Amino acid sequence: MLRPEKDSLGVVYVDDSKYWGAQTQRSLENFDIGAELMPPEIIRAYAVLKRAAAQANAALGVLSAEKAELIARVCGEISEGRLDGEFPLHVWQTGSGTQTNMNLNEVIANRGNELAGKKALHPNDDVNRSQSSNDTFPAAMRMAAAISVRERLLPALDGLAASLSELEAKYPEIIKVGRTHLQDAVPIRFSQEVSGWRAMLEKSRRYIEANMEGLYELPLGGTAVGTGLNAPRGFDTAAASAIAALTGLPFIAAPNKFHGLTSLDAFVAAHGALKALAADLMKIANDVRLLASGPRCGIGELTIPENEPGSSIMPGKVNPTQCEAVTMVAVQVMGNDAAIGFAASQGNFELNVFQPVCAYNFLQSARLLADAMASFNKNCVSGIRPNAAAMSAYLEKSLMSVTALNPIIGYDRAAKTAQYAFREGVTLAEAAEALGFMSREEALKALDPAKMV
């Protein structure tokens, strides 16, 4: 059944089983673009925002305690996921997110009225009191971004870093060939190689933390253009304090609301740190799959878990699928970074109108990185084992240990020693003795890999 809903443009008809109203219905009809819906993280953040705004309005005497409590009840249902089917709008809508703001306002009002058994709430006059889409959407997207990073991404990052720390600590004595430019280099401990991966994640975490500040500044209270028209004095700080209390994160009122409405630089900075993490994950995953290549005709220095058959035609083949998934996620995040940068450079005068696409890309990056790290950790990194025999065999064959002879016989003679050993198929010690540069015993003592790491 359909019911009539009225807005300033007239009457539209809405599925009677739904709580949304006329403006949501118009958006559904006018923006049937793509399959990408407004991210659930935005909806959850908006529910917290609307609850906090109602608390602030009640405290400031512009909304009754009864209405504030009713709004809070519905927002609680939204936060619990009980009304997920009520938010059907696409990302590709107005650039200010107005339709999504009204979607929340209408659902909260209609569900609240159902709970009250009377028409207690108006979507604009009550649920949206002291607010505008132009300040609530940029506030909600900052909240969603910060919450996603804090509650989802950083725990996954910490888990992966912890697994690498365990791997590093478990094999402190294994020495292997280092590689630079895809060529043999001087020896390195396996634990030292892993420490480089671990430190990448730890540094990425610090970069993310350092670039979160802008996401905590909420322009809520700026209303339409940043002046705060129709918002009571003190609403911004009261609402931000309530949001901080509800989320446990250090959200504050943006000191300059004009900046908060017109600029997305906080997302550029924060996502830049996510891109740095993606770049590190790409490097780590590529290193792991190359070192695990084989099992007989590749490098084969690592064994990784065999999770599923790798080929529909080659029996027994197992591929580094977790590494491949991580690298695809890294590529997507790098593409998202470009989109966010372009979005932040757009918009005119008092409002950036590329906000939904910015929010969508940021939240997708945070979600993908978190999920990819958790999967990579569980299904690959936690099961990595070094192939000590392969590492030892490569170390014995390496010619770049000759670098340790430089201080003794000089660079030129050391180069001739390596060339002779390669050409004649002998060891470095044998080559040094054959060329008369030093005895075999002296060379073996100098070429001890343990002294080079």
Active site residues: 181, 311
**Chain centre distance of CA 95:** 23
DSSP characters over 249-308: S--EE-S-HHHHHH--HHHHHHHHHHHHHHHHHHHHHHHHHHHT--SSSS---EE----S
- Angle at 153 (CA atoms; ends 149, 158), nearest 5 degrees: 125
155-to-144, 221, 329 alpha-carbon distances in Å? 16, 32, 18
258-to-101, 254, 283, 349, 358 alpha-carbon distances in Å? 19, 9, 40, 10, 18
What 3-state class would DSSP assign to 80? coil
DSSP state of 401: G
DSSP state of 39: P
Cβ 352 vs Cβ 346: under 8 Å: yes
- Angle at 153 (CA atoms; ends 150, 154), nearest 5 degrees: 60
Backbone angles phi, psi at 288, to 5 degrees: -60, -45
Backbone angles phi, psi at 423, to 5 degrees: -65, -40
| CA atoms of 60 and 131, how far apart (whole Å) | 14
Backbone angles phi, psi at 177, to 5 degrees: -75, 130
The C-alpha R_g of the chain, in whole angstroms, comes to 30
Among residues 348, 344, 53, 365, the alpha carbon closest in space to that of 218 is found at: 53
Beta bridge partners of 145: none
3-state helix, strand, coil in the chain (%, to 5): 60, 10, 30
For helices 235-247 and 133-148, give the axis angle rounded to 10 degrees: 30
